[in-house]
Chain A
Amino acid sequence: MTLENLEAGTAAVISSVDWSVLAPEEGKRLRALGLDEGAEIKVIHRGVFGGRDPLALTIGRMTIALRRAHAAAMQVEPA
């Protein structure tokens, strides 16, 4: 299952990330924010329109917004 499919309110652990589908800059930015293998996250909000894009998730004490396209590259396991 990928992060893209998680409903708001679901906690999960990122098990793997397919960096090859992300632009290098995007990958760097995601890693800088701590979104990497092993990160414990929780989806807290999803957008209003078109496929409920973007997503907001918490990691530690931080809230991060990203798009479905980024979330689709991340495999997750339920926490």
Chain B
Amino acid sequence: MSRIRTAALVGNPNAGKSALFNALTGARQKIANYPGVTVERKAGRITLPSGEPAELIDLPGSYSFDTTSPDEEVTRRVVQGEFPGEARPEVLILVLDAANLEQHLVFAQEVIAIGRPVVVALNMVDLAERDGLILDAAALEQALGVPVVPTVAVRRRGLDELLAAVGEAKMRTDIDGGEAHHGFNLSLPERRLAAKNMARGAILSETSERRLHAGLDRVLLNPWLGPVILFGFLFVMFQAVFAWATPFADALDAGIGALSDGVTAVLPAGLPRDFLTQGVLAGVGSVIVFLPQIVILFAFILMMEATGYMARAAFLMDRMMQGVGLSGRSFIPLLSSFACAIPGIMATRSIADPKDRLTTILIAPLMTCSARLPVYAVIIAAFIPATSVEPGIGLQGLVLFALYVAGIVGAMVVALVLRRSVTAGGASGFIMEMPRYQMPRLRDIGIGLWQRAWVFLRRAGTIIFAATVVLWLLLSFPRAEPGESQVDASIAGTIADGLNVVLEPIGFNREISLALIPAMAAREVAVASLATTYAIDADNEEEEAEGLTETLSGRWSLPTALAFLAWFVFAPQCLSTIAVARRETNGWKWPIFMLVYLFALAYVFAGITYWSAVALGL
């Protein structure tokens, strides 16, 4: 008897596969991409009743082996043993939603017909019972010809029985000496009819269906109430992101500061110490302060997904997004990008269509994220007078609003252009199942949050770390002569001289060119690096901003300041975003495309702003 090395979960979307996967494997999961595609591979360990461990993989939800998306294609190829480098699973755990049997049995027949050992997990039997549906697992077992185990993943019911059946399924194949079942290739209408009959045969009793579900939809999808509730919810979400994240971000900031002070106290002055404090700690610190925002935002997003509300939000916003060639699925990722593009880009995983998803990733950095605010605040305070245009409408606020609008309009235009060029065609439109409402399980949300935070931190630990070290090297070498400023003498200073030639026509001076280099780590670093460049000594950030406001208003012209603002609407000055885009698109092609087009837009629009302002005599 050979032992089982791999088993796989297969089933329709919304069958509760992920909850079952979490219940079977716990929090220790390995997440990666399948090679060559942007489909997530989730794997974990299970222990069979015999005491032997095996790998369990959670395959993407599918409606059919006649595939319509890269996700479904991965499932088909893995199950049929055609995915290079991926072991063919020895046992398939077919997950069926007990309350949606008739639909799920259509794909189930296709899976069983392959002839691999199959165990059916008749999942969410409790929800089916809540909906007044009592099922006969034995009847279903007879009809399908494979073992059927009733489970409730979120309550850990039926898990031992399921693992026992998995162990036996393999053993039986060994005894049979080959393929366990021989399926017939039925056509889709035939499978549908068979599914209907099997589902009817398995239902012991059925009462009125899904009252709670329909009632909730009547309110949440109501043409008038629905959008009001959605925007109310999103308002709370944004309040939370900004209000709750601040103390944690401040604490992280203080922690990094304390660590830096500690290093300063322990190590003698010199390059190694500067490397640790100004390079490593400052660089990673400037990125890590976004973690609280990202985690809070993702807590809301995962909650929306787990309850089933995400699909409703997509439904409500679909018409609006259609206008720019996207679907309602893109709305929440783009909205999240107003806090930070990183969770926004990671949230695009819920967009089924690959072209829609790519477009959304590419335009996400155009949403005005929170890291731009410190930059905007300093420049607006220095150059825009605090006067009123109309009673109650301040000019400063109006400029800030215009910057937000510029980002949104820019994103819409870019989306329209991309959908007609590089990401044209292929849209499977907006055809989706709306899952039933469910109480979210804290454990599943916790696992999801941990995975997202880990993805971000690993990036902060690798690409971002490497890049900040490079930035530090550029700023620290060669060493300055006594009396000379270090930034001017450094390689970055030399690069700034070159950059200045390019940026001078759009109204930038050498100090700006120099500040833009370290600001590649994160936009808000521009404030600190401008302060360094203008040699402003300050004890805290407020003083720094005040000092900078005064200095800048004396040194920059208004057209230069406006051009600088326009630059930051578009410029992709955020290494974390680039790093996350690389992970989510599985390669360097699209992040580089993103960098190039955003810098080009930034240059053109800063130029237009500068020259218009000069022409207007501002």
Contact = CB atoms under 8 A, between A and B. Distances in A.
Nearest to A62: B103
Contact of A56 (B63, B224, B434): B434
A25 B68 contact: yes
A28 B315 contact: no
B320 A65 contact: no
B213 to A, nearest CB: 8
Given A29-B63, A48-B226, A48-B227, A67 B430 contact: yes
A26 B223 contact: no
A33 B169 CA distance: 30
B221 A45 contact: yes
Contacts of B319: 47-50, 53-54
B431 A65 contact: yes
B431 A64 contact: yes
A46 B223 contact: yes
A76 to B, nearest CB: 17
B431 A70 contact: yes
Contact of A65 (B131, B189, B192, B432): B432
Contact of B217 (A44, A49, A53, A54): A44
Contacts of A54: 315, 318-319, 328, 430
A48 B317 CA distance: 9
B481 interface: no
A67 B598 CA distance: 32
Contact of B64 (A23, A28, A56, A65): A28
A52 B318 CA distance: 11
Nearest to B107: A32
A21 interface: no
B428 A29 contact: yes
Interface in B589-608: none
Contacts of B188: 31, 36
Given A28-B68, A32-B68, A47-B318, A60 B100 contact: yes
Contacts of A56: 217, 221, 315, 434
A65 B209 contact: no
B33 interface: no
A25 B428 contact: yes
A64 B429 CA distance: 13
B221 A26 contact: no
Nearest to B65: A32
B553 to A, nearest CB: 45
B379 interface: no
Interface in B185-235: 188-189, 192, 209-210, 214, 217, 221, 223-224, 226-227
Contacts of A28: 64, 66-68
A63 interface: yes
A59 B434 CA distance: 11
A33 B14 CA distance: 13
Contacts of A31: 188
Contacts of B214: 44
B431 A30 contact: yes
A33 to B, nearest CB: 7
B428 A33 contact: no
Contacts of A26: 428-429, 431
B100 A62 contact: yes
Interface string B317-341: 0111010000010000000000000
A2 B105 CA distance: 29
B106 interface: yes
A66 interface: yes
Given A32-B66, A33-B63, A44-B217, A49 B320 contact: yes
Contacts of A65: 311, 314-315, 318, 430-434
A26 B221 CA distance: 24
Nearest to B199: A60
B427 interface: yes
A61 B63 contact: no
Contacts of A47: 223, 315-316, 318-319
Nearest to B104: A62
A49 B320 CA distance: 8
B533 to A, nearest CB: 49
Most buried by A among B99, B210, B315, B426: B315
Contacts of A36: 188-189, 192
Interface string A1-35: 00000000000000000000001011011111110
Contacts of A61: 99-100, 102-103, 131, 209-210
Given A56-B221, A56-B315, A61-B210, A69 B429 contact: yes
Contacts of A23: 427-429
B231 to A, nearest CB: 12
Contacts of B227: 48
Nearest to A50: B319
A56 B430 CA distance: 11
Contacts of B64: 28, 32
Contacts of B428: 23, 25-26, 29
Interface of A: 23, 25-26, 28-34, 36, 44-50, 52-54, 56, 59-67, 69-70
Q: What are the 9 closest A-B residue pairs judged by CB atoms, nearest first?
A: A32-B63, A63-B434, A49-B319, A45-B221, A32-B64, A25-B428, A48-B223, A29-B68, A28-B68
19 contacts: A25-B68, A25-B426, A29-B431, A32-B107, A34-B103, A36-B192, A47-B315, A47-B319, A48-B319, A49-B319, A49-B320, A50-B319, A54-B328, A56-B434, A64-B431, A64-B432, A65-B315, A65-B433, A69-B429
Interface of B: 63-64, 66-68, 99-100, 102-103, 106-107, 131, 188-189, 192, 209-210, 214, 217, 221, 223-224, 226-227, 311, 314-316, 318-320, 322, 328, 426-434
